[in-house]
Structure 1
Amino acid sequence: MTPLRHGDRSQAVRHLQTNLNNNGARLIVDGHYGDATEAAVRVYQLSVGLVADGIAGSKTLAVLAGDDCEQLLKHADLVNAAQRLDMPLANLYAVNEVESKGRGFLDIGKPVILFERHIMYRQLSKVRNDSDNHTDLKRRADQLAAAHPAIVNPKAGGYVGGAAEHQRLGSARVLDDTAAPEAASWGAFQIMGFHWKRLGYASVQDFVTAMSANESQQFDAFVRFIETAPTLYKALKTRQWAVFAKHYNGPDYQRNLYDIKLQRAFERHSECGCGQNPVEVLRSASIHQQRQAAP
Structure 2
Amino acid sequence: MTLIRHGDTGYPVEAIQRDLARHGLDLAIDGVFGPATEAAVRRFQREHGLVIDGVVGRKTRRALTQGDDPKALRQIDLVGAAETLEVDLAAVMAVNEVESRGVGMHHGGPRNGEPVILFERHIMRRRLEHHGVSPVEYERSHPSLVNAKPGGYIGGHREHDRLDQAAYLHPTSAIESASWGLFQIMGFHWERLGYRTVGDWANAMAHSEARQLEAFVRFIEADRALHRALKEHDWRDFARRYNGPAYAKNDYDTKLAAAHRRHSHDLERAA
Report the CA distance between 1:28 and its aligned residue. Answer: 2.4
- Any stretches of 5+ residues in structure 1 without a counterpart? 128-136, 278-295
Q: Are 2:195 and 2:201, in contact at CA under 8 Å, matched by a contact in 1?
A: yes
The one-character-per-residue Cα deviations of 1:129-170 (angstroms, maximum 9, x if unpaired) are: xxxxxxxx36x2122212211101111111111111111111
CA distance 1:11–1:241, shift in 2 (3 Å): same
The one-character-per-residue Cα deviations of 1:198-252 (angstroms, maximum 9, x if unpaired) are: 1110011100000001111111101110111111111111111111111111111
SS at match of 2:118: strand
Matches within 5 A, 1:33-52: 33-52=33-52
1:252 aligns with 2:256: no
Matches within 5 A, 1:226-245: 226-245=220-239
Report the CA distance between 1:69 and its aligned residue. Answer: 1.8
- Any stretches of 5+ residues in structure 2 without a counterpart? none
CA RMSD of aligned residues (A): 1.5
The one-character-per-residue Cα deviations of 1:72-114 (angstroms, maximum 9, x if unpaired) are: 0010000011111111100011111111111111132211000
Which of structures 1 and 2 has the bigger CA Rg?
A: 1
1:88 aligns with 2:92: no
Q: Are 1:78 and 1:89, in contact at CA under 8 Å, matched by a contact in 2?
A: yes
Counterpart for residue 131 of structure 1: none
SS at match of 1:72: coil
Counterpart for residue 11 of structure 1: 11
Q: 2:257 aligns with which of 260, 263, 287?
A: 263
Matches within 5 A, 1:111-190: 111-127=115-131, 137=132, 140-190=134-184
Counterpart for residue 2 of structure 2: 2
- Give the whole-Å Cα distance in 2 for the aligned partners of 1:156 and 1:218: 24
Q: Are 2:144 and 2:152, in contact at CA under 8 Å, matched by a contact in 1?
A: yes
Amino acid at match of 1:126: H
Amino acid at match of 2:169: L
Report the CA distance between 1:126 and its aligned residue. Answer: 0.9
Counterpart for residue 69 of structure 2: 69
Q: Matched residues, percent identical?
A: 49
Q: Are 2:179 and 2:185, in contact at CA under 8 Å, matched by a contact in 1?
A: yes
How many residue pairs get aligned? The number is: 267
- Give the whole-Å Cα distance in 2 for the aligned partners of 1:206 and 1:255: 35
Q: Are 1:111 and 1:187, in contact at CA under 8 Å, matched by a contact in 2?
A: yes
Report the CA distance between 1:59 and its aligned residue. Answer: 0.7
SS at match of 1:106: coil
Higher relative contact order (CA closer than 8 Å, sequence separation 6+): 1
Counterpart for residue 100 of structure 1: 100
- Give the whole-Å Cα distance in 2 for the aligned partners of 1:56 and 1:95: 17
